[in-house]
Amino acid sequence: MTARDATHVILDLDGTLINTEQLVDEVVSAIVHDLADRDPKAVRDALERVRGMRPRDGSERLIDLLQLTDPKTSARASADALLALTEAKLNARWGEVALMPGASRLLRFLADAEIPVALATSTPAKYLAAKMASHAGALDGMRCVCTGDEVERGKPDPEIFRLAASRLGVDPARCVVIEDTPLGVRAAKAAGMHVVAVPSIAKRDDLYVDAGADVVISSLYDLDFAAFLPAGSDWIAHETLLDPVLPLPEIVRVGGAVVKGFGRGSKVLGIPTANLDATPLKLQSDALAPGIYFGHAALPGGRIYDMVMSIGWNPFFDNARKTIEPWLLHEFESDFYDVELRLTVVGYVRPEANFTTLECLIARIRRDGDVASAALRMEPFAAHRNDAFLTFEAGEGEGGGG
């Protein structure tokens, strides 16, 4: 099968459409810590190995991997007991779950292109409504929904994907599956489907390649629909653009005081960035996948600037923490630390990438700046320059640094 033979799409849920993985890892890690003294890295590794399984299957496997015992009897821990503990905590917190970056773009494009879509999730039906409570209507475009309790064997068995194809009334070979776990990739490949992997296990693309993924991408923003579906593309390419760009389905608005970063922007790269502290902006930063974006920026005083922004861990420098590093495309006479900076993020350029040399990195950053500058002269981006978020009241947002 080739990708262009596909006519239908089958989507995973957890880690693909909704960002449940961080919450599940947090809750289960805390419960494991209460049960036993286990090395945190061993727990993380075990959680990654069960990612994509149905809840009960994952509980069974986790107990075996971590050799968990009942603290009262010293016998092997009960999967039902572990599952009951996790259910109670997770059911109280599903409302915190956000859509994955690019999920709304994916669902909107498939609906507009009238591509038949199914959901194939390890989530049992009784949890599905709770998980999606904060995202009413997100699954309305599904032709069918297949849940983990409808099949005898969960992923990596292909049963759930075969069930989805059957309900869609299509040959499995005509389906593209979008998955975030190696187990899910294995299941879809065993069902005879083309698979696009969007990894939820960081820095381990090899796991997805070994599982058989046809394509591995960094985020849902990087999906090129035209490559595997009889549909067009929502990327904008133009003779004035060095690279195509993607309009974001919704503007992301970010604001905060300019802070001192690593000092490498102006000193190492010759490209001064006006960094923001990512910690209080977690909600906004989590709405964007790590990558390069562009939009508009405002400082007190009324002027609007073009900007290009890196968000993530910057593989070349191997950051230990997530950063938000906007580069305002303007020459400033002095620094403006502590002053409030407001950003409207309207488009996407590319995922984060590593570079073999500093010179290659600098060249790529400057190219990104040229792409952003050209794109912001075009529609639909130019109209966002007048966004009300960029307007300061008199005296508002002025800091004490310089």
Of 14, 57, 222, 340, catalytic: 14
One-letter amino acid of 212? G
Of 12, 21, 57, 222, catalytic: 12
Phi, psi dihedrals of residue 119, rounded to the nearest 5°? -105, 130
CA 346 to chain centre: 17
Q: What is the dihedral of CA 392, 394, 399, 402, to 10 degrees?
A: 100
Our answer to whether residue 12 is catalytic in this structure is yes
Residues 6+ apart with CB under 8 A from 182: 52, 201, 207, 208, 210, 211
Q: Are 170 and 187 in contact (CB under 8 A)?
A: no
CA 311 to chain centre: 12
User: What is the token pair recorded at 26?
Assistant: 């947090």
Of 48, 159, 325, 340, catalytic: 325
In 3D space, the residue among 180, 186, 160, 198 whose CA is nearest the CA of residue 48 turns out to be 180
In 3D space, the residue among 154, 147, 153, 156 whose CA is nearest the CA of residue 207 turns out to be 156
Our answer to whether residue 286 is catalytic in this structure is no
Our answer to whether residue 325 is catalytic in this structure is yes
Neighbours of 5 (CB within 10 A): 14
Put residue 392 in one of left, alpha, beta given phi > 0 → left and psi -120 to 50 → alpha: beta
Active-site positions read 12, 14, 325
